[in-house]
Amino acid sequence: EVQLVESGGGLAQPGGSLRLSCAASGFTFSEHEMNWVRQSPGQGLEWLSNISISGTNALYADSVEGRFTISRDNAKNSLFLHMNSLKPEDTAIYYCAGGHGYFHMWGQGTLVSVSS
Amino acid sequence: DIQMTQSPSTLSASVGDRVSITCRASQNTRSWLAWYQVKPGKAPKLLISKASDLEGGVPSRFSGSGFGTEFTLTISSLQPDDFATYYCQQYHYYPWTFGQGTTVEIK
């Protein structure tokens, strides 16, 4: 069974940092591009970042470019999102999702709250 | 960025009803359009890719159509498990963008 399990969410202060993780199982992680997508309270979904299979190439939405960094460890079947300079508007449920373009597998998400 | 606009925002319907959700793109996205079902506390679920390709395991009562700038998700006979929020998403242009969502609620 395909599983993506996010962790690392919680409360952070404005300007602070958090590191999200996504543990993958049930499929060959190293054969899939991976992404982070978020859903802000009462809002829709927003794609944030994509990372290539090897991890050498990454894309970002303008809203997080320069503040967030996506990475992966294929040996450990894990995806990461390093979030710096957090803003209150970064408050959201963060999902990891597999695929290029469209997302055929998703985790259940981890909640990030940014507040003083 | 490509703007994706869904209508209606909320849809009230009964079990057995045929329902349709429209998604309009601000630019031509050809067939690069996906539909997702989202329920609170659960992992979002891909229903359809490439505008009309049903994902494996998705019931055949779901169908997608359209090309270019106008797309439709249809549920032919609404079931209790279908009450959820549905999102369209284009993946022809970066950044990949979603519609604002359509909530299907019980009438």
Contact B1, B97 (CB under 8 A): yes
Contact A107, A93 (CB under 8 A): no
Which residue has tokens 């519609």?
B99
Average pLDDT over residues B87-103: 97
Q: Which two tokens stand for residue A76?
A: 């450990």
Q: A53 or B41: whose pLDDT is higher? A: A53
Helix (H) or strand (E) holding B10: strand B10-13
Among chain A residues, the shortest Cα distance to B40 is held by: A108
Could you give the percent of chain B with pLDDT greater than 90? 96
pLDDT of the residue at A38 = 98
pLDDT of the residue at A73 = 98
Contact B36 A61 (CB under 8 A): no
CA-based nearest residue to A99, from A19, A6, A4: A4
**How do the pLDDT tens digits run along chain A, 116 residues long?**
999 999 999 999 999 999 999 999 999 999 999 999 999 988 899 999 999 999 999 999 999 999 999 999 999 999 999 999 999 999 999 999 999 999 999 999 999 999 99
d(CA A52, CA A43): 27
Average pLDDT over residues B51-67: 98
pLDDT of the residue at A43 = 85
Which residue has tokens 């950044």?
B95
A-chain residues near B46 (CB < 8 A)? 102-106
d(CA B102, CA B6): 7
Is A59 exposed, middle or buried (CB count within 10 Å of its CB: 0-12, 13-18, 19+)?
A: middle
Give the number of C-alpha atoms closer than 13 A to the C-alpha of residue B29, restricted to the C-beta side.
31
Q: At residue B107, does pLDDT exceed 90?
A: no
d(CA A92, CA A40): 4
pLDDT of the residue at A77 = 98
Contact B10, B102 (CB under 8 A): yes
Beta carbons within 8 Å of A47's beta carbon, 6+ residues apart: A35, A36, A37, A61, B89, B95, B96, B97, B98
Q: Please, what is the average pLDDT of chain B?
A: 97
Mutate one of A25, A38, A45 to test the B interface: name it (highest B CB count within 10 A).
A45
Q: Please count the other Cβ atoms lying within 10 Å of the Cβ belonging to residue B78.
A: 20
Give the dihedral of Cα atoms A79, A85, A88, A93; nearest 10 deg: 0
